[in-house]
Amino acid sequence: MKFGVIVFPGSNCDHDAFYAVSRNLAQPAEFIWHDSTSLGHVDAVILPGGFAYGDYLRCGAIAKFSPVMKAVRSFAAEGGPVLGICNGFQILVEAGLLPGALIRNRGLKFVCRDVHLRAATHDSIYTSAIPPGQILRVPIAHGEGCYYADERTLDRLEAEDRVLFRYLDNPNGSLRDIAGVLNRERNVMGMMPHPERASDPLMGSDDGLAIFRSVLQARPVSA
């Protein structure tokens, strides 16, 4: 299975994501520059964390206009898995591929530490390899990671089983402890915690690797 890792000017977790899937998951991967109009032949796409140009305006507000995002939209519309991590989540929300918004943390400070997550649904290609009840220890690093949506949207996400992860120790004030969500078709996901930074025992936790393993076992490989 081949992963494409989108690189925006300012991305700083692109190599982490690349390493997680190419070394820890032993799958082919390639970097895709934000100015590209094509994704090439990939089976899954990762929008990594870090920063993107224009974040000073609002996280992801400018990056959503990158040429590559048209290709990402088409890939998602065809059912391809798209994983948005941290800044990647913010870009997907700004691009309208996921509902809600990411706003300033409740304490108005950048938070960088491990958090504990529970998969809120196992009916997804991103959580199917996570044993029910398992608690994941995964790091976060963000200043604008508070998930916000109106009550109607939150109710719909829960009714449609589209809340992907919940915090056990909510670090940023996200409504209903939401740490990750799915689109209606369940192939696009966004999460603020960094599973790629918890994909190797040398980093203190490999809990995040279960998310990538889930995609690997769920997605057919292209010829």
User: Known catalytic residue: 41?
Assistant: no
Q: Given the residues 13, 59, 86, 146, select the one marked as catalytic.
A: 86
| CB contact at 8 A, 194 and 138 | yes
Q: How many CA atoms lie within 13 A of 52 on its CB side?
A: 30
Q: Is 211 helix (H, G, I), strand (E, B) or coil?
A: helix
Specify burial of residue 213 (Cβ count, 10 A radius: 0-12, 13-18, 19+).
middle
| CB contact at 8 A, 186 and 162 | yes
Q: Given the residues 34, 142, 144, 194, select the one marked as catalytic.
A: 194
Write down the H helix ranges in the chain: 14-19, 68-77, 87-94, 151-159, 209-218
Extract the tokens encoding 124. Answer: 């997804």
φ, ψ of residue 139 in degrees (nearest 5): -80, 155
Q: Given the residues 34, 142, 146, 196, select the one marked as catalytic.
A: 196
| CB contact at 8 A, 83 and 185 | no
User: Known catalytic residue: 86?
Assistant: yes
| CB contact at 8 A, 157 and 170 | no
Other C-beta atoms lying within 10 Å of the C-beta of residue 194: 24
User: Known catalytic residue: 160?
Assistant: no
Residues with catalytic function: 86, 194, 196
